[in-house]
Amino acid sequence: MTPSPHKTGCARTEGYYPIPDSVKATYLPKNKAVFNGGSNNVIKSSSVTSRMNRVNNRRLLVGMDLHKRTTATDSDILKFNQLKSRKKQLRFAKSPIHDWGLFAQERIDANDMVIEYVGEVIRQKVADHREKRYERAGVGSSYLFRVDDDTVIDATKMGNIARFINHCCTPNCNAKIITVDKQKKIVIYANRDIDKDEEITYDYKFPIEADKIPCLCGSKGCKGTLN
């Protein structure tokens, strides 16, 4: 599949228009396997964009069991304090997985705390209202992350670069909720040693659904879909 030719003969005269992920995959070799071969998991290009726009919203629906691990150990608290005093060197840049991604600018050791997921702490009812408002406003990706049954962190407008972390079926990090000074924090830990310039990823752990969302992580263990 190749991009449609420009009607005017010049891309600059046609303004902005979205490029379907199925088209992007044709010039991102790492991701071609997701859309080639007639897999049952492949989604028609006409429906890919709208479904991908809901990817981050589904964090609200995910039973990640994170809230079951809310007690920080002494080691967690020490690492959290170290992270506050000396933040890891990270940068966000265009990602071959999806739009923007987060990349390490230094080597990160296994089990190290990489970054805290920061945003505005809101109640579930407020999160539900905002999700609908973001959809009406055409916000493609909102960054609502559930902390527990009635608490959500909204990083859409008041977040940090942790919101750019992409999903991967074989991630190098994992998300965990810990309690520090009676406040619940979402932190990203390294599953293994991470090299400089490597993209930071974790598994979104979306529930299995019939309406599939394609995964573009390109890893050897890629399942083809996020759900």
pLDDT in tens, 121-137: 999 899 888 888 888 88
Interval 185-220: pLDDT, tens? 888 999 999 999 999 999 888 777 787 888 888 888
Q: Which helix (H) or strand (E) holds 178?
A: strand 173-180
The answer to which of 17-26, 160-169, 179-188, 200-209 has the lowest mean pLDDT is 17-26
Matching CATH number, 71-118+161-226, of 3.40.50.300, 2.170.270.10, 3.30.428.10, 3.40.50.1100: 2.170.270.10
Averaged pLDDT, 6-23:
68
Report percent pLDDT > 90 for the chain: 22
- pLDDT exceeding 70 applies to what percent of the chain? 65
Which range is least confidently modeled, 5-9, 34-38, 76-80, 106-110? Answer: 34-38
Q: What pLDDT, on the 0 to 100 scale, is given for residue 194?
A: 96
Q: According to the model, what pLDDT value does residue 183 have? A: 82
* The two structure tokens encoding residue 72: 């920080």
pLDDT at 168 over 70: yes
Structure-model confidence comparison of residues 105 and 150, the more confident one: 105
Predicted local confidence at residue 144, as pLDDT: 84
Mean pLDDT of the chain: 75
Cα distance from N-terminal residue to C-terminal residue, the chain = 25
Residue predicted with more confidence, 142 or 164: 164
- Segment 50-60 shows an average pLDDT of 48
What pLDDT does 44 receive? 45
Report the pLDDT value the prediction gives residue 3, as an integer from 0 to 100: 54
Q: Give the pair of three-digit tokens for residue 3.
A: 């991009």
Q: Which long-range contacts (CB under 8 A, 24 or more apart) does 191-195 make?
A: 191/110, 192/110, 193/107, 193/108, 193/109, 193/110, 194/104, 194/107, 194/108, 194/114, 195/104, 195/107
* Contacts of residue 81, Cβ cutoff 8 Å, sequence gap at least 6: none
Instruction: Say whether pLDDT at 80 is over 80.
Output: no
Name the segment(s) of the chain with CATH classification 2.170.270.10: 71-118+161-226
Angle at 66 between CA 73 and CA 152, to 5 degrees: 110
Instruction: Select the more confidently predicted residue: 146 or 93.
Output: 93
